[in-house]
Amino acid sequence: VTARLAAITGASSGIGQALAARYYRAGWRLALVARRARQIEEWVVARGFDRSRIAVYAADVRQVDSLVEVGRACIAAHGAPDVVIAGAGISIGFDTAEHDLEVMRRIYETNVLGMAATFHAFLPAMRTRGTGTLVGIGSMAGIRGLPGHGAYCSSKAAVISYCEALRGECRAHGVRVVTINPGYVATPLTAKNRYPMPFLLDPDVFAERAYRAIESGTSYCVIPWQMAVLAKLLRLLPDPLFDRLLAGRPRKHREEAPQ
Ligand SMILES: NC(=O)c1ccc[n+]([C@@H]2O[C@H](COP(=O)([O-])OP(=O)(O)OC[C@H]3O[C@@H](n4cnc5c(N)ncnc54)[C@H](OP(=O)(O)O)[C@@H]3O)[C@@H](O)[C@H]2O)c1
């Protein structure tokens, strides 16, 4: 029997990379995607992974055409994936009064449109086969809007809502959709945060829990469970209380000069 195939974006760093390692350990074949393909290649070699089980693709998720091309090449060479994980994402502080609108555009293009483009590249083949799982990496930040973090929070709220809609669309075609909302995970993305990060997880610990959640057939989960409890409470919290709770909280760093 051929090993199952997982296609993962954001595989050059952090959560995507840890998930790639976890799926590899479980015997899967991998299609790994990021702009820094070389970084992935070097990592694969450094880990001593069997190269014949891993295909590496360079693509920018903001370029729909490049993702569609990756999907086409991957499906032609290795077949339709059993699991597609849209892990590519960026997080940058945002201030509406400053010149940050380009930052918002970049965040939406990467986190939201990039995810839809990733699924778009693989879904038709999965639907034809009638099996498969699409995994969207959302965030706890998508549960409520955090001051100074409006672009990222709203992008992740969009991810959560988009995945929910997609779940309903894919159901009749045998394709599952899973939303995974990480709390804090120690990766380059969070390394610059100046505020305390409760329940901070090691990426490998996160990947282990996410792998089990995806395999268990769940459609939505927050990892770690402490954050799941917090997410439920935050949803119930009335606005005046929420606003007071957040007042004075250190903000996500903005970029010095917009790119
Ligand atoms: N770390 C956390 O605490 C946390 C919490 C909640 C949610 N998340 C989410 O988890 C996901 C992964 O985050 P992380 O912490 O692992 O961050 P990370 O270490 O910075 O990794 C981000 C990954 O996304 C890829 N990426 C970014 N922009 C891309 C683009 N335009 N095209 C293709 N790939 C792109 C990067 O690859 P290249 O730069 O090589 O392209 C990299 O592999 C993100 O969606 C993030 O929002 C993280």
Atom of ligand 1 nearest to the CA of 109: 31
Q: For the segment 244-253, what is each residue's pLDDT rounded down to a tens digit?
A: 998 988 888 8
Atom of ligand 1 nearest to the CA of 140: 6
Asked if the model's pLDDT at residue 31 lies above 70, the reply is yes
Q: Tell which residue, 38, 35, 150, 169, has the closest CA to residue 96.
A: 150
Q: How close is the Cα of 221 to the center of ligand 1, in Å?
A: 19
Taking all residues of the chain, what is their mean pLDDT, rounded to a whole number? Answer: 96
Asked if the model's pLDDT at residue 259 lies above 60, the reply is no
Average pLDDT over residues 194-202: 93
* Structure confidence at residue 251 (pLDDT): 84
Percent of the chain with pLDDT over 70: 98
Average pLDDT over residues 19-34: 98
211 is catalytic: no
Q: Are 9 and 85 in contact (CB under 8 A)?
A: yes
Asked if the model's pLDDT at residue 135 lies above 80, the reply is yes
Q: Which entry of 152, 162, 184, 211 is annotated as an active-site residue?
A: 152
Average pLDDT over residues 121-130: 98
Residue keyed to tokens 């498969």: 132
Burial of 193 (0-12, 13-18, 19+ CB in 10 A): middle
Q: Tell which residue, 231, 235, 234, has the closest CA to residue 221.
A: 231
Predicted structure pTM score: 0.97
Test site for ligand 1: of 91, 108, 113, 159, most ligand atoms within 8 A of the Cβ? 91
Q: Are 35 and 12 in contact (CB under 8 A)?
A: yes
Q: Pocket residues for ligand 1 (CB within 6 Å)? A: 9-16, 34-36, 39, 60-62, 87-91, 110-111, 137, 139, 182, 184-185, 187-190
Q: Tell which residue, 61, 69, 87, 94, has the closest CA to residue 211.
A: 87
Atom of ligand 1 nearest to the CA of 37: 40
Q: How close is the Cα of 87 to the center of ligand 1, in Å?
A: 6
Asked if the model's pLDDT at residue 188 lies above 90, the reply is yes
Distance CA 181, CA 170 (A): 20
